[in-house]
Amino acid sequence: MIKGSLTLDPKIIRQDFPIFQQAVAKPLVYLDSAATSQRPSKVIDAEMEYYQKYNSNVHRGVYRISVEATEAYERAREKVARFINARSPKEIIFVRSTTEAINLISQTWGRTNIQTGDNVLLTEMEHHSNIVPWMMLCKEKGASLRYLEVDDDGFLSLDQLDSSLDNRSKLLAFTHASNVLGTINPAKEMIRRAHDKGALVVLDSAQTTPHMTTDVRDLDCDFMAFSGHKMLGPTGIGILYAREEILDRMEPFLYGGDMIKEVHKDSARWNDLPWKFEAGTPNIAGAIGLGAAIDYINGLGIDQIRAHERAITSRALDMVQSIPGITVYGPKDPDKRAGLISFNIKGVHAHDTASILDTHNVCIRAGHHCAQPLMEKLGVPATTRASFYVYNNNEDIDMLIHGIEAVKGVFKL
Ligand SMILES: Cc1ncc(COP(=O)(O)O)c(C=O)c1O
């Protein structure tokens, strides 16, 4: 493919996103989709339609609109199951976010299965949401945390994975793609090696499921977590995937309505999967909105989305790296990285870079990206990060470069 030619047409795609249709003096250059994506009208409309036309609680009513709401909510679950190739919708639990999904695993499966003397293996590139729940569990249980190192090019070592796992390793929890380095980890191979050593695997797919094919059967992960708001869906809705036989053996996370079959004064019986893990009134509108987001992604084609982002990232990498005084973190090969680039301008704090870019209406993130152990490893307090999605085009990258030049101008670099 010619550098700069794109698989999707962002000009057409942007027409589906109200935020890009506003009459503004300067066009919005949104380069922060790794934090949260924008949402197309179809998603906003699906949520609004629920509230306006059949708003009612799910699973409880026999009247028409409640049946309609229940069907829409469960249809969204089926869409998620198909999207990640789960064996059954029973393996899809609606939660608030990736963070909640991982806490659910640590508080239920973790509390039952991790004992004193066991260990949990993480990597140095994890988001805090895939560190702190395991840290607290290990403290509670007298288990230990281990970390796979990130090398200078932003990669993990499979040899170190093998040597870090022993017969007390109960779990490997790792991110499919780093939200800072962009590194796409060889998840299938890592999962195979962990299984060979008898450990179960939690895959954090917050940065991959929105952007590339995720097939839980092919990956063979035991648990997977991702968030709706990073994949064109609403905030407050996320997914925990787990193999049915594991969910069957797990204790519930929260107790209350909807997650029970029957309750007596001194005892209760849990509901079937997946509802055993969905206590209380769920985020009905959020689930329906996520279903609409999946329809939208399927309409574009997930492989086309990956190809589009790869092309944008490749061009951006070339351009950013060619600016003197810039450090880019993570793999140099766009095939090995997700659609994001973290960098620092020598002599400029990441927050100053982001603030000056904001004056050009360019939205990029600055900070530790909830990955402080990785920042320690990189030896920096913060980075600036530009991240891409279906609506980004080459002009956005040009604006980023223009903004970086402006930062250098302000600091006389
Ligand atoms: C790799 C990764 N894991 C987990 C999360 C947490 O997602 P959420 O805030 O939706 O729970 C993020 C968010 O940036 C992330 O990038």
Give φ, ψ of 367 to 5 degrees: 145, -160
Query: Is 129 a pocket residue for ligand 1 (Cβ < 6 Å)?
Result: yes
Query: In angstroms, rounded to a whole number, what is the distance separating the alpha carbons of residues 123 and 112?
Result: 23
Using a pLDDT cut of 70, give the percent of the chain over it.
99
Confidence of residue 4 (pLDDT cuts 50, 70, 90): low
pLDDT band at 61 (very low <50, low <70, confident <90, very high): confident
Rounded distance between C-alpha atoms, residue 41 and residue 314, angstroms:
29
Q: Is 37 in the pocket of ligand 1 (CB under 6 A)?
A: no
Q: Is 387 close to ligand 1, i.e. is its CB under 6 Å away?
A: no
C-beta 70 within 6 A of ligand 1 = no
**How far apart are the C-alpha atoms of 76 and 70, rounded to whole Å?**
10
Q: Are 356 and 403 in contact (CB under 8 A)?
A: yes
- The total of other beta-carbon atoms located within 10 Å of residue 380's CB is 16
Q: φ and ψ at 158, to 5 degrees?
A: -70, -35
Find the 30 Cα to ligand 1 centroid distance in Å: 18
Quote the ligand 1 centre to 350 CA distance (angstroms). Answer: 20
- CA-nearest residue for atom 7, ligand 1, is 98
Sign of CA dihedral 376, 377, 378, 379: positive
Tell which residue, 86, 75, 126, has the closest CA to residue 241.
86
Nearest alpha carbon, ligand 1 atom 16: 179
Whether cis (ω within 30° of 0) applies to the bond prior to 274 is yes
Largest CA distance in the chain: 73
Residue 383 confidence (pLDDT): 98
Position 60 pLDDT exceeds 90: no
Please tell me if the CB atom of residue 227 comes closer than 6 angstroms to any atom of ligand 1: yes
Q: Is 179 in the pocket of ligand 1 (CB under 6 A)?
A: yes
Q: 96 near 237, Cβ under 8 Å?
A: yes
- Pocket probe mutation, ligand 1, options 94, 96, 98, 337, max atoms within 8 Å of Cβ: 98
Q: Report the distance separating Cα 22 and Cα 29, nearest Å.
A: 13
Cα–Cα distance measured from residue 77 to residue 57, given in angstroms and rounded to the nearest whole number: 16
pLDDT at residue 306, as a whole number? 98
Residues 352, 346 contacting (CB under 8 angstroms): no
**pLDDT in the model for residue 23:** 84
Q: In this predicted structure, what is the pLDDT of residue 63?
A: 96
Active-site residue, selected from the candidate residues 138, 221, 363, 370 = 370
- Can you tell me the mean pLDDT for 259-264? 97
Instruction: Look up residue 365 and give its two tokens.
Output: 């993130």
Residue of 80, 84, 306, 335 whose CA lies nearest to 212: 306
pLDDT value of residue 2? 55
DSSP 8-class letter at 361 = T
Task: Point out the least confidently predicted range of 15-29, 66-80, 253-267, 295-309.
Answer: 15-29
Spell out the alpha helix ranges (H) of 142-174: 158-164
Segment 103-146, tens digit of pLDDT: 999 999 999 999 999 999 999 999 999 999 999 999 999 999 99
Burial of 14 (0-12, 13-18, 19+ CB in 10 A): buried
- Contact at 8 Å (CB) between 145 and 134? yes
> Is the pLDDT reported for residue 1 higher than 60?
no
| Dihedral over alpha carbons 222, 200, 212, 182 (to 10 degrees) | 150
State what percent of residues in the chain have pLDDT above 90. 97
Mean predicted confidence (pLDDT) in 314-320:
97
pLDDT value, residue 161: 98
Please say if 221 is a catalytic residue.
Answer: no
Only one residue has tokens 């999207």, namely: 83
Quote the Cα angle for 319-325-331, to 5°. Answer: 55
Q: Spell out the residues 6+ positions from residue 155 whose beta carbon is closer than 8 angstroms to its own.
A: 183, 331, 336
Domains of the chain: 10-40+301-410 (3.90.1150.10), 44-298 (3.40.640.10)
**Range list of β-strands (E), 209-346:** 223-227, 238-242, 260-263, 268-270, 326-329, 340-345
pLDDT (tens digit per residue) in 166-198: 999 999 999 999 999 999 999 999 999 999 999
* pLDDT at site 24: 82
Computed over every residue of the chain, the mean pLDDT equals: 97
Closest-lying ligand 1 atom to the alpha carbon of residue 126: 1
CA distance 288 to 65: 14
- Average pLDDT of span 273-291: 98
* pLDDT tens, residue by residue, 344-398: 999 999 999 999 999 999 999 999 999 999 999 999 999 999 999 999 999 999 9
204 lines ligand 1 (CB under 6 A): yes
**pLDDT category of residue 5 using cuts at 50, 70 and 90:** confident
CA of 68 to the centre of ligand 1 (A): 32
| The ligand 1 atom nearest the CA atom of 35 | 14
